Amino acid sequence: MYRLRDAGYQAFLVGGGVRDLLLGREPKDFDIATDAHPEDVRRLFRNCRLIGRRFRLAHVYFGRDIVEVATFRASEDDADAVDESLVLKDEDGRILRDNRYGTIGDDIWRRDFTANALYYNIADFSIWDYSGGVDDIRAGILRLIGEPDARYREDPVRLLRAVRFAAKLGFRIDPATEAPLSHLAATLEAVPPARLFEEVLKLFLGGHALPSYELLRRYGQFRQLFPAVDALLDSEAGEPCRALLLEAFANTDQRVAADEPVTAVFLFSVLLWGPVRRRAAKLEEQGESPVQAMLLAADEVVDTQQRHVAIPRRITTPMKEMMVMQLRLQKTRGRRVLGMLGHPRFRAAYDFLLLRSLVGDAEPELAEFWTGLQAMDADARSAAVETGGRRARAGEPAGAQPDAGASVEPASKPRRRRRPRRRKPGSGAG
C-alpha cells in the first residue's frame, strides 16, 4: 500500500481483512483496492502476476503469501463507462466480463455485503464506511448491498457466499438478503463447475463445515452442488449417510480449530460415499466382485458429479483408493493384513473407517482391531493376524489368551509345498 501511495495512487486495505480485524480475528488474507490499473501494479511490482478474465486482478507474491490488488470498479449506472468491449452479461443478468474502472465511490456499490465493504486508509488510519458496514458488524447482521435479487443474478456464487459468511461469522442474515436464497438456488447451474469446486472447499474446509452444510440444505443449495447426495439424504435409506456427514463435518471443524490438517480427498470421500456405496451394492447384485463394483460405482458417481462440481483427478484418484480400502480393511487374517499398515492411504482410510464405525456404518470391532494393531510390536501383530484379530488389543502379549467367552477361529493349516515341475525343452519359458 505504501509503495502504491508513494507512486501517486490511492491504496486501501479492503474486505474481509478489515472485517476480521474489527471482530478481533486474525485475517486469513489481505486484499487491496486502488485506483492504479492492473498494468500499473505490475509495473511497480516485479513479483506481480495478472489473472482473471471476468475481473482483471493483480496478484503480488511475497513468498507463499499472495496479496490481491483490485482496481476500483465503475458503478453499474455509470453511462460514461459503458463499453461493450469491457462489460458482458448473459440473458439472465449474470456478469460474464466487467473490466470497467472507476473511483472508490463507485467501487463500494460493486461489493457484495456491507461487512465486506470497509476501506482502511493508511493516510490517516481511518475506516471509510459508505454502506453502514461497521454498524452491521456490531449488530451481527449480514446484509447485501443493493437490490438482492439483481445482485444474486449478477453472480450466483453470492448465494454461497451468503451462506459461508453467515456460518463463519455467526451472523444473522438480513431478511431481504435471505429471501431470494432458496428460489434462486437453481441459478447456480450457470456457474462453471470448476469455480464451484473452489467455493465448496471454502465452505467445508474453513472451520465452519457443519453450519454451512445445514444452511445449504435449508436453502436448497446443497441440491445444486451434490444432487445425488441430496437425493439420498431425502430418501428412507439416507439415515447412515446423514449421520456420516454430520459426524464428518463436526470432526473437520474440530480439526481446523485445533490447527490440525484437513484434506479435500477426505472431504469428497465422505460426501460421495453414500451414492457410491449404494451403486456398488447394485453392481454386486449384477455379479461384479466387491472391489470391481466399488471402482465402477465410484467412476459413475464422480462422472455425474463433475457436471455440478468439478473435482480434479488429483483428488478423485486417492478418493477411490480410500473407498476400495474400506473393503480391504474388513479382512483381519493373513500376512497381507500387515501390508496394509504401510499403504500410503492407510491413515486416511483408517480415519474414515473410525468415522463410519461411530455412526453404525461399519462394525466397531473392525475399528478396534485396526486401532489395536497399530499399537502392537511386530511379534504381537503377527500373532494377531493369525487369529483374525481376536487378540488385537494394544499391549497384550502375543501368547495371551482371549477373554472368557470370546470365540477364536481355528488357525489355518500350513500349506504343503508343491515340488516345482521340470519344464520340458522348447516350452517357451524364458
Active-site position among 20, 40, 106, 112? 112
pLDDT greater than 60 at residue 430:
no
| Residue 74 forms part of a structural domain | yes
Mean pLDDT calculated for residue range 329-353: 92
29 is catalytic: yes
What's the confidence (pLDDT) of residue 389? 56
Nearest-5° Cα angle at 320, 317 to 323:
155
Q: Cα–Cα distance between 332 and 353 in angstroms, integer?
A: 14
What's the confidence (pLDDT) of residue 237? 85
pLDDT greater than 90 at residue 138:
yes
112 is catalytic: yes
Provide the pLDDT confidence category of residue 94 given band limits of 50, 70 and 90.
Answer: low
Q: In Å, what is the CA distance from 143 to each residue of 28, 118, 135, 244, 265?
A: 21, 13, 11, 33, 34
Provide the pLDDT confidence category of residue 116 given band limits of 50, 70 and 90.
Answer: very high
Q: Are residues 260 and 374 in the same domain?
A: no
Mean pLDDT calculated for residue range 277-295: 96
Active-site position among 20, 31, 230, 361? 31
pLDDT greater than 60 at residue 79:
no
Provide the pLDDT confidence category of residue 398 given band limits of 50, 70 and 90.
Answer: very low
Give buried/exposed letters for 343-355 (b at 16+ CB in 10 A, else e). eebbebbbebbbb
Q: Are residues 314 and 336 in the same domain?
A: no
Q: Are residues 321 and 341 in the same domain?
A: no
Domain end point (choices 267, 297, 328): 328
Mean pLDDT calculated for residue range 91-113: 75
Q: Are residues 324 and 336 in the same domain?
A: no
Provide the pLDDT confidence category of residue 57 given band limits of 50, 70 and 90.
Answer: very high
Backbone region of residue 93 per phi and psi (left: phi > 0; alpha: psi in -120 to 50; beta: other values): left
Q: Are residues 73 and 104 in the same domain?
A: yes
Instruction: Please state the domain count of the chain.
Output: 3
Q: What is the mean pLDDT of the chain?
A: 87
What's the confidence (pLDDT) of residue 396? 41
What's the confidence (pLDDT) of residue 80? 47
The fraction of the chain above a pLDDT of 90, given in percent, is: 72
Contact 198, 226 (CB under 8 A): no
Provide the pLDDT confidence category of residue 404 given band limits of 50, 70 and 90.
Answer: very low
Query: CATH code at 96?
Result: 3.30.460.10
Q: Are residues 373 and 254 in the same domain?
A: no
pLDDT greater than 70 at residue 85:
no
Across the beta sheet with 65-71, the strand order is 48-51, 57-62, 65-71, 31-34, 11-14, 118-121, 126-129
Q: Are residues 24 and 121 in the same domain?
A: yes
pLDDT greater than 60 at residue 218:
yes
Taking alpha carbons only, the member of 154, 143, 139 closest to residue 187 is 154
Contact 326, 317 (CB under 8 A): no
Mean pLDDT calculated for residue range 369-384: 92
Q: Cα–Cα distance between 320 and 411 in angstroms, integer?
A: 33
| Residue 235 forms part of a structural domain | yes
Q: Is the dihedral of CA 386, 392, 394, 398 positive or negative?
A: negative
| Residue 281 forms part of a structural domain | yes
What's the confidence (pLDDT) of residue 74? 83
Active-site position among 29, 135, 377, 379? 29
pLDDT greater than 80 at residue 379:
yes
Q: In Å, what is the CA distance from 295 to each residue of 39, 41, 76, 329, 347?
A: 49, 49, 50, 16, 20
Mean pLDDT calculated for residue range 274-297: 96
Mean pLDDT calculated for residue range 322-337: 92
Provide the pLDDT confidence category of residue 403 given band limits of 50, 70 and 90.
Answer: very low
The fraction of the chain above a pLDDT of 70, given in percent, is: 84
Q: Are residues 251 and 375 in the same domain?
A: no
Query: CATH code at 241?
Result: 1.10.3090.10
| Residue 16 forms part of a structural domain | yes
3-state secondary structure (DSSP) of residue 146:
coil
Provide the pLDDT confidence category of residue 400 given band limits of 50, 70 and 90.
Answer: very low
pLDDT greater than 90 at residue 335:
no
Q: Are residues 244 and 304 in the same domain?
A: yes
What's the confidence (pLDDT) of residue 394? 40
pTM: 0.81
Residues 160-169: tens digit of each pLDDT? 999 999 999 9
Q: Cα–Cα distance between 371 and 361 in angstroms, integer?
A: 17
C-alpha cell at 199: 467455493
The full length of the chain comes to 430
Mean pLDDT calculated for residue range 409-415: 40
**More reliable by pLDDT, 96 or 225:** 225
Mean pLDDT calculated for residue range 343-364: 94
Q: Are residues 135 and 38 in the same domain?
A: yes
Q: At what angle do helices 290-305 and 313-328 cross, to 10 degrees?
A: 150
Q: Are residues 130 and 231 in the same domain?
A: no
Q: Is the dihedral of CA 396, 399, 405, 411 positive or negative?
A: positive
Please state which of the ranges 176-185, 297-306, 390-399, 419-428 shows the lowest mean pLDDT.
Answer: 390-399
Backbone angles phi, psi at 13, to 5 degrees: -75, 135
| Residue 391 forms part of a structural domain | yes
| Residue 183 forms part of a structural domain | no
**Please, which residues have CB within 8 angstroms of residue 428's CB and are 6 or more apart in sequence?**
none
Domain span at residue 69?
A: 1-143
Domain end point (choices 290, 311, 328): 328
- 424 DSSP 8-state letter: P
DSSP string, 193-206: HHHHHHHHHHHHSS
Domain end point (choices 115, 143, 171): 143
Provide the pLDDT confidence category of residue 244 given band limits of 50, 70 and 90.
Answer: very high
pLDDT greater than 60 at residue 96:
no
Q: Are residues 337 and 322 in the same domain?
A: no
Strands 95-98 and 118-121: unpaired
| Residue 148 forms part of a structural domain | no
| Residue 419 forms part of a structural domain | no
What's the confidence (pLDDT) of residue 91? 57
Burial of 286 (0-12, 13-18, 19+ CB in 10 A): exposed
